Amino acid sequence: MSTMTQPIPTVTTESPAERLRTTMAAARVSFTWLGVRKSLSAIQKDQAAVPFGAEGKFLSAGKKLLDTAHPAFRAVTGIRSRAVTYWKERSLPFPEPGIRLIRQDAVREFDLQMGEFRRELDTAVLELDRHYEDLRLAARVRLGELFDPSDYPETLVGLFGIEHDFPSVEPPPYLEQLSPDLYRQECRRVTARFDEAVRLAEQAFVEELARLVDHLAERLTGQEDGRPKVFRDTAVTNLSEFFERFRSLSVRSNDQLDELVRTAQRIVRNVEPQDLRDSRWLRSDVANRMAAVQAGLDQMMVDRPRRNIQRRARTDGATA
């Protein structure tokens, strides 16, 4: 009688930092951007200080070169904001300026999207440049004697840009041959960086979830003029987006955080924003159950003021 051998389950001892190191890639985003504020000259500061009886060298003063509230300018800055949001929502912090970690299987999508932002920016800058002369004329009127034509380039084309790359954060292999001691030192440094990246990721997730839970609690229990506060769909949908991002980016480094996220997800599962508007009982029930999540998050955060969720019983059937 033959005996079938069952495969031995693989037991992974990989640490969260090692998982982060093997599944993520470093992504860096940088911007070239026209400065629209300029400090006043020493003579101008002296003149500005006279009405106050002050000395110009103790005065900090500047001028705004262009109206950034112009729709064409806002379109340009809006693309930068969208690019930063996209980058941060799909990445984890890393303890080097300008670098964040994205999933390796998301690199191609990230590269394509950043290229699309760059093309949108180029188009928006061309549109802004069409209004540039009007903006300069308006600045001449608003700035008066402070207007200086030399502050303004001939064109805005080429003065705004979005760049991205995928820098290596690992020790260069050639260093092992050149200096084994230095290579080992760099390996330890990189290991410490990824340990810190795990801590930063935990901190970011805790702070974001705490902010979302706090906001939900405040909307569910707060009142204005004796009536429940306005409850927008985003109080719930933002939580759903957080759960998806946590599922995608978490390296399972903290069992307590994982359990708090699962608990919060269970509480709002199948709960529609309109249901919370229609039922005081449901609002009270969700708020009370979220209190445990809120308390757990408070314990995980350092120097964070505690907020208590109201637990007053409410009757069902009332309309918000």
Residue 268 sits in the same domain as residue 161: no
Domain range for 246:
178-300
Total domains in the fold of the chain: 2
Residue 78 sits in the same domain as residue 106: yes
Q: What pLDDT score was predicted for residue 3?
A: 42
In a domain, 317, yes or no: no
Residue 25 sits in the same domain as residue 119: yes
Q: What pLDDT score was predicted for residue 13?
A: 66
Q: What pLDDT score was predicted for residue 181?
A: 94
227 SS3 class = strand
> Which residue ranges in the chain fall short of pLDDT 50?
1-11, 303-320
Tokens standing for residue 2: 């033959």
pTM here is 0.81
In a domain, 319, yes or no: no
Where do the DSSP E strands lie in the chain?
24-32, 37-39, 62-64, 92-93, 99-103, 161-165, 223-224, 227-228
> Token pair 């706090």 is at which residue?
214
> Token pair 């509480």 is at which residue?
267
Residue 199 sits in the same domain as residue 142: no
Tokens standing for residue 262: 């699962």
Residue 68 sits in the same domain as residue 126: yes
Q: What pLDDT score was predicted for residue 318?
A: 38
Closest CA to 99 of 49, 26, 32, 163: 26
Q: What pLDDT score was predicted for residue 311?
A: 38
Q: What pLDDT score was predicted for residue 55?
A: 81
Q: What pLDDT score was predicted for residue 194?
A: 95
Q: In whole angstroms, what is the distance from residue 126 CA to residue 258 CA?
A: 47
Q: What pLDDT score was predicted for residue 304?
A: 46
Residue 27 sits in the same domain as residue 161: yes
Q: In whole angstroms, what is the distance from residue 94 CA to residue 121 CA?
A: 27
In a domain, 199, yes or no: yes
Q: What pLDDT score was predicted for residue 12?
A: 53
Residue 192 sits in the same domain as residue 222: yes
In a domain, 309, yes or no: no
